[in-house]
Amino acid sequence: MSKQYEPIRIGEKFAKIPDLWKPRVVAEMNDYQFKLVRLEGDFVWHSHADTDEAFLIVEGELRIDFRDGAVTLGPGEMYVVPRGVEHKPFAASEVRVMLIEPRGVVNTGDGDTLERTAANDVWV
């Protein structure tokens, strides 16, 4: 037999995401998820008490502010925000990001916002 399995094409997936700030799942690995999200503007300060969170930049530039500084990420760069560390993503213009984190993590963590909180487990 010679079945052709389909790759997950990240660029094509991004093209199907209409909204900013809404992470979309593209793959699962054990109890972790790979999510794509388009960001532009300011997010809310928040932290995730129970998990680290990995950011991998596909396109554009993302700044992640911390209470004591910041990291600026471009395409092909990544950063892992440790659990419990308050952070606030910011993008002056649109940035396309892959997030890797456990299934069930809420994007706004402990940040008390309704506007930015996105539904979980939505695939693209």
Alpha-carbon span 87 to 5, nearest angstrom: 38
Alpha-carbon span 112 to 76, nearest angstrom: 31
Q: Give least dist CB 47 to a second copy, A.
A: 15
Around Cβ 5, how many Cβ atoms within 10 Å?
Answer: 4
Q: Give least dist CB 114 to a second copy, A.
A: 27
Q: Give least dist CB 66 to a second copy, A.
A: 7
| CB-facing half-sphere around the CA of 19: CA atoms within 13 A | 10
Q: Binder to a second copy among 10, 25, 118, 124 (CB under 8 A)?
A: 10
Indicate the residue among 2 and 93 with the shorter CB distance to a second copy. Answer: 2
Considering only residues 62 through 91, tell me which ones interact with a second copy, judged by CB under 8 A.
66, 68-74, 76-80, 83
Considering only residues 12 through 41, tell me which ones interact with a second copy, judged by CB under 8 A.
26-30, 32, 34
Contact 89, 99 (CB under 8 A): no
Q: Give least dist CB 99 to a second copy, A.
A: 10
H or E element at residue 91: strand 87-102
Indicate the residue among 46 and 73 with the shorter CB distance to a second copy. Answer: 73
